[in-house]
Amino acid sequence: MDFDSPEVKKCARALKEIDFELAYLALLTCEGLKPLSRWEKPLDGDGLELLQQIGLLTKQIRRTVKTGKEVVETIFSRSPAYIQLYEQHFGNSPIDKSAQTQRFEGFLFGYPPCCVNQYIRRPYAANNLAAQEQKILFHWACRNCKITPALLTACKNVYNLLNSC
Ligand SMILES: [Zn+2]
């Protein structure tokens, strides 16, 4: 992704207008820091088009919640294989938070497995990140994580770029 390109900046700004977090997820996914991302809030055709304009593949996936109500998730990725994996595994299925699901989601979303395992054992256990650092990650880091610091540096760059555009 060429962040100097006026087209890319324009898309990033438009995505930010929809939701900062959506724009941030989109850029992290474009940069390959997340193989696939999921957006759980409603997103219309304009939003989908913006994601596609910055080079992402998108797909809307129907799921159900416990009450039987249908929800639509939007997933996006640079990789058709990841879109397919998500769709095969979760398409038309009820939303669940089992350990097995969390492990598979962690794999798709690019979370370090050590952090996923710690989260399954005990969610939000104290780690050694500053609140400001934890805030720009989408996974909860395990204590003394060997992967998160490197990931954090890369995420910070994207976060700052997005803030300045
Ligand atoms: Zn970790």
DSSP string, 8-22: HHHHHHHHHHH-HHH
In this prediction, residue 10 carries a pLDDT of: 95
% of the chain exceeding 90 in pLDDT:
93
Q: DSSP assignment, residue 68? A: S
Query: What pTM did the predictor assign?
Result: 0.94
Distance 147 CA to ligand 1 centre (A): 6
Residues near 70 by beta carbon (within 8 Å), at least 6 away in sequence: 62, 63, 64
Cα separation, 157 vs 146, in Å, equals 19
Q: Which residues pair with 94 in a beta bridge?
A: 64
In this prediction, residue 68 carries a pLDDT of: 87
Distance 121 CA to ligand 1 centre (A): 13
Cα separation, 153 vs 133, in Å, equals 10
145 token code pair: 């994580």
Distance 149 CA to ligand 1 centre (A): 9
Distance 113 CA to ligand 1 centre (A): 7
Please determine, for residue 4, whether its predicted confidence score (pLDDT) is greater than 90: no
What average pLDDT is seen over the chain?
96
Taking only the tens place, the pLDDT of each residue in 56-85 is 999 999 999 988 899 999 999 999 999 999
Q: 47-53 contacts: CB < 8 A, separation 24 or more? A: 47/15, 47/18, 47/22, 47/74, 48/74, 50/11, 50/14, 50/15, 50/18, 50/26, 51/15, 51/26, 51/76, 53/7, 53/11
Taking only the tens place, the pLDDT of each residue in 122-156 is 999 999 999 999 999 999 999 999 999 999 999 99
Distance 35 CA to ligand 1 centre (A): 17
Name the 3-class secondary structure at 130. coil
Distance 165 CA to ligand 1 centre (A): 31
Q: DSSP assignment, residue 118? A: H
Distance 131 CA to ligand 1 centre (A): 16
